[in-house]
Structure 1
């Protein structure tokens, strides 16, 4: 194994989360950290105020302006500005019952509005931009408006979000826009919120904000595809940041520097990454890029200028960035120059990508870089478990954070994970029925994931993700199929041809998969076709099918039994739909929704007649 940390690096990378294990007579296991969680702030705004006093001129946030330069916001300026905006929110009588809905993505105005709401007890709800721009029916926007009943809706650009804003206008809801592109809708300029004098009401409201105050709502789609509003309290956010600072001990040694694109409509980008920068007095450079062919150039340009100390991404993001690092020595040197840690979440990372980054760091900086991940959800703020060791492979989600109790309940041959701690949501907004269903009698949150020990009997080595309990199924033979690990393994073996896949086979004789091919890579398999050939024709081209057939046969030869032997795949030309709840803008796939919506493709997999887009052994 490569050396982990060079002599010039900080003396510590991780903190100690030594797990203590309680085994119950009924087979239930409870795991917690040996040390309690230290004191944490009552609100994130308290941390902003702290840094505004201690380091008022340090850059808190930076984003690209229209000229391509960086628009920066210091801690001192941020704290002053949110008090002005807070006064404007209070003047409108906004509240938990009538909060602020944010349509646009990451940006300084978005951050100021969110923090201003936190300062005076007015929750905000950032919504995925896809629900307002890519969605054809605006169904999830309509649902969110009905569920949350906001009285103010913000968008950075009236033109980009015009279709959604017109729907908002029909309801008589105030619209606030950063620019002048929505004057025909009677939009309020964002700058006018900053002009509001700081009132005594703001000072009074600040004193009322405490750990149980609702900071925000985050929308998370369930198996139905319709979003639930997860209540996020200040206790959740601050406790989780205190947990992260104990686990990632280097955050206390120097202010972190982040270059990050992950959407603030999701808990990973907002609560986790944005929170790490704010809680620890760091700087977040907002990356307008995306981990896709047409968006990665912006990320590369930002990383040429800014060297992060910790880099977060989803696996697809690391995959998209990798060839650019491999081909560009200057970029590579800058990227690794002060990097302490690579952190992935949201999905499984393939071993080849894991190895490639560690090798690149060794070759470029003379040291291997530590790669880690965690386990959590929107309901857990999000960190519940975290890897605090230099693991030898991806997939190890670590041990419980300080203050978190992990209960492992035997379930269909697996260990179902349940969680309790100050970082857990009190529930789903205006859905007491759903709230009651996700907590057990002891108050543990039922997250639906299964875990297994990374090393037999060694709890200190942490746990591995063992799939979603609700997604696993039995073949007709009675053999259980562990969907999560199988899906990750198969996608990795098809790399780079497959972007995502869904496992099939419930009550069938064998396992199949609905495959979403990577369009760019798949088209390379058929150079004889014209570039504008519809993708539906590409995936049924014989040259393409021959390559997939060969891969499938090789995978089947390595299978250890019927539960891991995929015998058939369907190549789907139509990507996962956001409107139908099949996918999010972060790239997460909803297995249940895909199976429900693509029932005809599932039937085609197992039909007597082989359809053109189906490949069988």
Structure 2
């Protein structure tokens, strides 16, 4: 079915119930959301948008933006969300590549125009394999690729997460994530919609606003930076979090030190999960059961996960109902990223332990080959992050005249470089230990909080070769 129909089935019978609880004390009901989506769908059809046409949106987070997303689904269009921070030149590439029939930059004005159209009563029928959304990847290793996520992909993942995380109509989701990415747009919204649950709707993460929002929430989804910033605020106390049933973290690795400090402060153990644009959520720690820091848990029901090459540690490969069909207008790239038996090569390096839990070592492109040996940055970062004076670390390989690549640790914090390297050598094989440690005030991150190691490699590329 059309994904819209699945989501609307979860809306509360009493449509006057709030869908969004706004910061100013206002509310937007499910009835208003549903009516707005019908107006948008009717407006798109009146403008000549046909099933499969792309509808682009580049705007700040808002209820209006969500309404346009749902309206595009209902009309059978392919939703194309873009980061509001993209430059005109970046947007030109996406528009040229996706060729949207409609491109919205002012959601409020668009909704005002839509009021003149006849609302669409029934969603346009869609098949499971019809594309519902184009999500462009970050493009750190070349031009951005549009991952084609189908109605069936998104429906399967939404249902699996709704069950795995125990959502009910009694939940209230604190939503402080952006909605141009799968985390805030699909993972968070779909869990709430399938429950008919309200969301505390924040335009962006602000620790004071989040702390205030916790008072009327039961579940929070965030990136690791959200949790470290909450811990840095003395107003974030055990009392503030005591009625919350679940804190979920994803989009970037959660430091074990953050996990431990959060549990000590609140008594709650953060639930970490693993996902990506091409498959939404792949694994999750259990709702009921042990959540082990550093592990991203078990594959969701229906997801097959294996380690490529038959090694203990290697590239994670996946197959299942939520895995995308391919990259938009890139058949060669699509063929390259899938195995002959239909598994998608994620590019993430990891392993599965005897219990079946998944542990991520890093990205395959971040693998360092130093002196002919494979070095996985995560193993070194775990050692560094436990050292006194270190808040967070990122390990990269840069050109080295003797070893091919030299291991460089970029560290937020302070300390003595020589003694820290010596400590690493006590815990790690010499070829794994950093040859240099650079101290910085912050690490470059993308919009979802992931450290951009490509920028670090560029920044320190001459560290061993200059002069």
| C-alpha separation in 1, matches of 2:359 and 2:278 | 20
User: Do residues 475 (structure 1) and 370 (structure 2) align?
Assistant: yes
Give the RMSD, CA atoms, in angstroms.
2.8
Give the secondary structure class of the aligned counterpart of 1:131: coil
- Secondary structure in 2 aligned to 1:227? coil
Which of the residues 456, 470, 486 maps onto 2:380? 486
Question: CA deviation digits over 1:155-194, x for unaligned, max 9?
Answer: 3xxxxxxxxxxxxxxxxxxxx442xxxxxxxxx5532213
Cα distance in 1 between the residues matched to 2:388 and 2:185:
32
Shift, 1:88, TM fit: 0.4
> In the alignment, does 2:283 pair up with 1:385?
yes
If the length of structure 1 is used for normalisation, what is the TM-score? 0.69
Please give the residue correspondences for 1:12-31 in structure 2 after superposition, counting only pairs within 5 Å. none
Equivalent residue, structure 2, for 1:336: 242
Tell me the equivalent position of 1:208.
Answer: 125
Out of 40, 43, 59, the residue aligned to residue 104 of structure 1 is 59
Q: Which has the larger radius of gyration?
A: 1
Return closer, same or farther for 1:373/1:152 CA change in 2, 3 Å cut-off: same
| 2:150 is the counterpart of 1:233 | yes
**1:26-41 paired onto structure 2 within 5 Å:** none
Cα 1:486–1:556 shift into 2, 3 Å: closer
Give the match's secondary structure for 1:62: strand
SS at match of 2:86: helix
- In structure 2, the CA distance between the partners of 1:274 and 1:72, relative to structure 1 (3 Å rule), is same
1:115 deviation in Å? 0.1
SS at match of 1:486: helix
Alignment counterpart, residue 298 of structure 1, candidates 209, 218, 225: 209
3-state SS in 2 of match to 1:566 = coil
The residue number in structure 2 matching 1:501 is 394
Aligned residue number for residue 32 of structure 2 = 77
Alignment partner for residue 111 of structure 2, among 170, 183, 190? 190
Shift, 1:322, TM fit: 0.9
| 3-state SS of 1:603 partner | coil
Change (3 A) 1:574 1:495: closer
Alpha-carbon deviations, 1:514-543, whole Å to 9, x = none?
Answer: 6374xxxx6xxxxxxxxxxxxxxxxxxxxx
CA separation of 1:553/1:485 partners in 2, compared to 1, >3 Å: closer, same or farther?
closer
Distance of 2:389 and 2:226 partners within structure 1: 14
Match of 1:458 in 2: 355
- Which secondary structure does the structure 1 equivalent of 2:39 belong to? helix
**Alpha-carbon separation, structure 1, partners of 2:53 and 2:370:** 48
Tell me if structure 2 keeps the 8 A contact 1:213–1:233. yes
1:375 touches 1:385 (CA, 8 Å); kept in 2?
A: yes
Q: Distance in 1 between matches of 2:46 and 2:431?
A: 60
Instruction: Give the C-alpha shift of residue 111 in structure 1.
Output: 0.4
Q: For 1:209 and 1:97, locate their aligned partners in 2 and report how far apart those are by CA, in whole Å.
A: 9
Which position in structure 2 is the counterpart of 1:31? none
Aligned residue for 1:62? 21
Deviations 1:427-459 (A, max 9, x none): 1112212211111111111101222234xx333
Q: How many aligned residue pairs are there?
A: 464
5+ residue gaps, structure 1, are 1-41, 133-137, 156-175, 179-187, 363-368, 523-543, 577-582, 610-617
1:602 aligns with 2:461: yes
Residue 276 of structure 1 is matched in structure 2 by 191
Cα drift, residue 412 of structure 1: 6.6
